[in-house]
């Protein structure tokens, strides 16, 4: 029975409970992710408007692709609205809390 492997763990690897860690900024990461999704949705909406305009001018060959693209854009927009509503509800709930 050997306990040599356990001896390699030193006291320096144990951190104090209040010690700062190198954890990523969760709030900043969530905000950046949200902003990227909003930009992606904006790009998708502009592309959808362009494809509908091309269809109206007779330049688009595939009606199915235009309709699928606009339906995906609509669903993405509804998802973004649902996320916005949830964030707004959470903010309002925090504002109602008594300190």
DSSP state of 59: -
pLDDT recorded at residue 11: 47
How far apart (Å, rounded) are the C-alpha atoms in residues 26 and 93?
Answer: 20
Burial string for 64-85 (b: 16+ CB within 10 Å, else e) reads: eebeebbeebeebeeebeeeee
> How does pLDDT run across 12-70, given as a tens digit for each residue?
444 545 555 555 555 678 889 888 988 999 999 999 899 999 989 988 888 899 999 89
pLDDT recorded at residue 61: 83
What pTM was estimated for this model as a whole? 0.63
């Amino acid at each position: 029975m050997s306990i040599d492997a356990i001896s390699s763990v030193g006291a320096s690897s144990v951190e104090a409970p209040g010690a700062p860690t190198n954890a990523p900024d969760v709030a900043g990461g969530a905000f950046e992710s949200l902003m990227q999704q909003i930009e992606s949705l904006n790009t998708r909406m502009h592309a959808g408007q362009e494809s509908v305009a091309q269809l109206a001018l007779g330049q688009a060959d595939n009606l199915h692709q235009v309709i699928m693209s606009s339906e995906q854009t609509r669903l993405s927009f509804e998802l973004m609205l649902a996320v916005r509503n949830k964030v707004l509800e959470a903010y309002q709930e925090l504002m109602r809390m008594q300190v």
